[in-house]
């Protein structure tokens, strides 16, 4: 079984992943209301992905014989000044998650929990992709501040964070 310290930290992160999903749903609903269908779809997808991350963590704890603690979900922010602000919030949120995932990896390593260290490696790579996607989306949003529908066009053509292979 993982160390108590790791289990507690991962349970805390499970709550943060569900909170992130909740916030992304609020962002998507705002974009939906503002008639940005591609941004809405993008953030609804992000919400599903964050819920998936939380469930991956829940299942990991169950598989290792530890008790998951789902925790509560905070009210998300739901009002924004323009089409750029929600993306800034999303990037900030992803950067915070990256730090937390690194801390979880560190705890696993310090406690010689090699299974948990390996489990966290997937999340480390995932955060590289998440930050790249939000960073790209923000860069385009800031360039299209005066014509926001160009951001919708970008999403129709490209996947934020995707790089040619």
Write the pLDDT tens digit of every residue in 133-150. Answer: 999 999 999 999 999 999
Band (pLDDT 50/70/90 cuts) for residue 163 is low
- CATH top-level class for 4-69+79-157? mainly alpha
For residue 162, pLDDT over 80 is answered with: no
User: DSSP 3-state assignment of 147?
Assistant: coil
C-beta pairs of 91-96 under 8 Å, 24+ apart in sequence: 91/131, 91/134, 91/135, 91/137, 91/138, 93/20, 93/23, 94/127, 94/130, 94/131, 94/134, 95/131
Band (pLDDT 50/70/90 cuts) for residue 160 is confident
How much is the pLDDT for 49? Answer: 96
Whole-number Å distance between alpha carbons of 120 and 141: 31
Among residues of the chain, what percentage have pLDDT more than 90? 92
Band (pLDDT 50/70/90 cuts) for residue 158 is confident
How much is the pLDDT for 61? Answer: 98
Q: Where are the chain's structural domains? A: 4-69+79-157
For residue 164, pLDDT over 70 is answered with: no
For residue 22, pLDDT over 90 is answered with: yes
Band (pLDDT 50/70/90 cuts) for residue 71 is confident
User: DSSP 3-state assignment of 142?
Assistant: helix
Q: Please indicate, yes or no, whether the overall pTM of this predicted structure exceeds 0.85.
A: yes
The burial class, CB within 10 Å (0-12 / 13-18 / 19+), for 79 is: exposed
Sequence length of the chain is 165
Query: What does the pLDDT average to over 90-113?
Result: 97
CA 65 from centre of chain: 26
Element (H, E) at 38: helix 37-63
Query: What does the pLDDT average to over 116-134?
Result: 96
Query: What does the pLDDT average to over 87-98?
Result: 97
């Amino acid at each position: 079984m993982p160390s108590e310290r790791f289990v507690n930290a991962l349970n805390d992160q499970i709550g943060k992943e569900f909170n992130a999903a909740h916030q992304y749903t609020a962002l998507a609903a705002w974009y939906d209301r503002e008639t940005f269908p591609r941004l809405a779809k993008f953030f609804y997808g992000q919400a599903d992905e964050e819920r998936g991350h939380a469930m991956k963590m829940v299942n990991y704890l169950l598989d290792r014989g530890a008790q998951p603690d789902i925790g509560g979900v905070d009210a998300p922010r739901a009002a924004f000044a323009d089409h750029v602000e929600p993306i800034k919030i999303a990037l900030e949120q992803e950067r915070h998650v990256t730090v937390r995932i690194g801390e979880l990896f560190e705890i696993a390593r310090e406690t010689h929990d090699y299974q948990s260290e390996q489990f966290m490696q997937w999340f480390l790579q995932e955060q590289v992709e998440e930050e790249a996607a939000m960073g790209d989306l923000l860069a385009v949003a800031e360039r299209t501040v005066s014509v926001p529908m160009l951001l919708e066009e970008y999403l129709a053509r490209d996947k934020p964070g995707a790089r040619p292979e």
